[in-house]
Homo-oligomer: A and B are copies of this chain.
């Protein structure tokens, strides 16, 4: 069973109907009550998602905050508060706790969220799970994009996967790659501005690779995509930009002809046009040739 199959299978157990707006196939669960409330959760397990050989406790805390913040960003939301569940294999050393909590709370507070508590348990292996909640006045979903919409990504891709390649070979990556992997920047401000501007038809963050996350946006919207340009981060391969994952960039669709309004709304920061959406539901092509939605899958 792949992760997608698993998630589809368990979706029958998710709540349906008001006040629940969305559960699965979104970056956050969406709950309508005095506006929209967003809920997301992500976990990192030692030996599966990271190794202490190249992760400091501070970086791990920051990254756990960032991957969750990125889910809120992908809905155009504002992060508010978080709860942490921590599994420790032994009585934790003070310096490790100190650094982990400092990274986590500095990551959260930089984007306006606070740590409210949680639970700590003994576990044969170290893992950390974060639950983050926030609000949105006008959430942007994966669903809603139209054929003809232009597709953008918020920064060049592949740097995080390139850093991992260096780390796994036991080598120290160049600083920019290292930063992309250890300290990804969630696009909270961009997501909020895009949501406020009302010019974006669908949005997702890139956690499992451009192709896989684009295919999710396409499936939710019932469209296909024609990619012409892929912005590849310096030091990364095109393959890493297409399928590497852990970029935490925003990927979104916007109707054509509003480019000026779009750039004004986001303060003229750079965006990277990838191509446009088509009527061919589920079909993604790159420079005229069909391409499969490969990407990181947590079970395979």
Binding site for B on A (CB under 8 A): 1, 3, 6-7, 9-10, 13-15, 20, 23-24, 26, 29, 31, 33-34, 39-45, 47-49, 80-81, 83-85, 87, 91-92, 94, 97, 101-102, 104-105, 114-125, 127, 129, 131, 133, 298-299
Contact of A115 among B3, B15, B47 (CB under 8 A): B15
Copies in the complex: 2
In the assembled complex, the Cα of A114 lies from the Cα of B17 at a distance in Å of: 10
Contact of A3 among B10, B33, B120, B133 (CB under 8 A): B120
A10-B97, A81-B39 known; A298 vs B121 contact (CB < 8 Å): yes
Whether the pair A123, B122 counts as a contact (CB closer than 8 A) is no
Closest partner residue, chain B, to A42 (CB atom):
B119
Closest partner residue, chain B, to A12 (CB atom):
B101
Whether the pair A31, B116 counts as a contact (CB closer than 8 A) is yes
How close is A258's CB to chain B, nearest CB, in angstroms? 32
How close is A123's CB to chain B, nearest CB, in angstroms? 5
Closest partner residue, chain B, to A29 (CB atom):
B116
In the assembled complex, the Cα of A130 lies from the Cα of B296 at a distance in Å of: 25
A29-B83, A39-B83, A97-B10 known; A119 vs B115 contact (CB < 8 Å): no
A13-B104, A48-B123, A299-B122 known; A114 vs B20 contact (CB < 8 Å): yes
Closest partner residue, chain B, to A45 (CB atom):
B123
How close is A270's CB to chain B, nearest CB, in angstroms? 31
Whether the pair A117, B39 counts as a contact (CB closer than 8 A) is yes
Whether the pair A81, B120 counts as a contact (CB closer than 8 A) is no
Known: A1-B91, A14-B114. 17 other contacts (CB 8 A): A13-B102, A13-B105, A14-B115, A26-B117, A29-B116, A33-B34, A40-B117, A42-B85, A43-B119, A43-B129, A44-B121, A45-B87, A45-B122, A48-B124, A83-B131, A122-B299, A123-B127
